Structure 1
């Protein structure tokens, strides 16, 4: 508008020849009114913590040769104070930047005014605030005495400037007795009321607290601590993988009984005695038969003679800090031995017996091969029959039954068992209605740990 007034004044000054001096379209464009953008305030609001904060004010003009920027402090009615602005031209536009430092004493609503060539203008307000003081109040970890592994409820309230502070992240931390540092446990969000709560596991005696890390408008704060004492309860135990084999078993032959003892966690429990119990069919009483001590992997292995059909199980009586437990039961049927043959029979032989690999690692499979043959009028042919595997531990004078297997129609025998002790192995063929029995040669295998 001011530029248009100037053009009109020139026309009046030249008199009647003014019509010849009417400005061209380009001249009108050159005298177009300047424009100015909104003012960007950063940061906004301006929050003062412990140090002064410098705010930056930026705006853009077009078609203006100069610009001004003014601020009015809270309470200064009608008084604007100029602030230095620096230009940064870019084509037809110019970016203007002003800065000012604010302190806590500057808190309140400020007004600003930006001018382009003293004509175009933009104005507005922004806030300067003091950072909010926060508190975590009424913090509680409950109950104060618990068993190890039980749950605790931790709760409290976050306040800012004495009012509920909702929607904020609060960290629950814990310091164990005998340590110096708090460690992160979990994070919760405050409700609109400022209250928060969480359930945590109690692993050790120590101190709990809640920590608010602060944000762009509020200071950090930490609650009072609350001590919780944790007492150690006896841990549970269990016996897994219990097995009584092989079954059915001939009366008087030996059974193998194995399993693994574990402690809550569930970790193997070595060096503990496990009892093998038996309950005869038709009885309600369990009786002790034998026992074994678990190895470093918690495994046990025992042998027992089978006299009657019934249930077998393993029992652990417990130890300091660990409760006892019992395995599941395993039913074994005992059958009568086969009566000796009465008629004339053909001779048999067990040849090429071999136990391998040698040596073998304890608990790994040991494999056995052999061949069963029958005398058929002077020719030795492969023979299909049931063969039993026996074992004699090193230092013992007695072989014990391990398992039964079958030679195929070609007489070939193959089986495997897990090796637990060093000793000698052999196959025994008891014969049948047409053949006499035979015993293979023996093979000694060392078992290493």
Structure 2
């Protein structure tokens, strides 16, 4: 649209850039030329109601594809062409133009081909000498290129954050692997240092058990031999009573048996530690997951025994190709979490089964449960609902990564106040194992 004083100018100005204006031209002609060729669309609206446009510079055609007279003729043109998602925030604050005098917005504006351009719009209120609003002058600038660059940078930032998260997870998994390797070395040292003395003590206890049986048999035969001799029998009876021989015979047998059981427990603990860490085993192997569960139970027994009864409902599992030590780590995390979820004496249920080339291991508890708003976050690194200093928030995250590496998945179901159930699903033959050994 042209200034009213310049109706004589060619109407082609709306369809193509105007020809250069000689410096000798009048100031108003020069002004018309500048307005029509500035990068910003200049417009005016009434200062009330629907902000009907009263003037639009000719360069609107070059930017938006609409002729100025078309935009001025429609009283709702500006409102109707703002993107529906952007319009509410503009409409709700438009009245601030009258109190602040100027407002700036960034929004999407529908152009003639139906697509949207991002526009920067600055509105300024003009008042007369009495302060009465006269009109609103606006300046529309196409900022689509800038917005696309910002979106690209934002996407790049999100990608970088995701990469940082992956690096952090990889770092934590590396630290955990190093820790497990250290545990494995420690287990090997413990096994070597303890198994030797335990071996000969166990052998000695076996011999002692036989010796005690022999001695008790000798005493019985002495008493039988003395029976025909009343005086000797009386003396032996006094000695038997003084020594409380009946108690000693019963108690020494119990002591030897309990000592043998204790030695077996020590051997089982050392073997469980070796099985748990799988010293020297860093490659895919065929493993018995029930054996891994039982070994892990031995490791965490002290964490569980005062808080829970373990109910094992094992099904039939085929041998599974896996990284056994890493799966044992998953089992340990789930068992320890189950124990921590129990406020008082409770039950931890272990169930297993297999179907269609997959196995599943379920660790359930009847503890406090997980709040619904936390269920979607429990596998996030560093997320924990435990008090500060009581958990790192890495156990479930690392477990998720290990199960994912095996081509499996972890499912969780929980009801606050009733308990939680984690179910690990694993393929019997993970594709990752075939790639690693192929």
TM-score normalised by the chain length of structure 1: 0.21
Q: Which has more strand, going by share of residues?
A: 1
TM-score normalised by the chain length of structure 2: 0.21
Answer with 1 or 2: which has the greater Rg. 1
Q: Which has more helix, going by share of residues?
A: 2
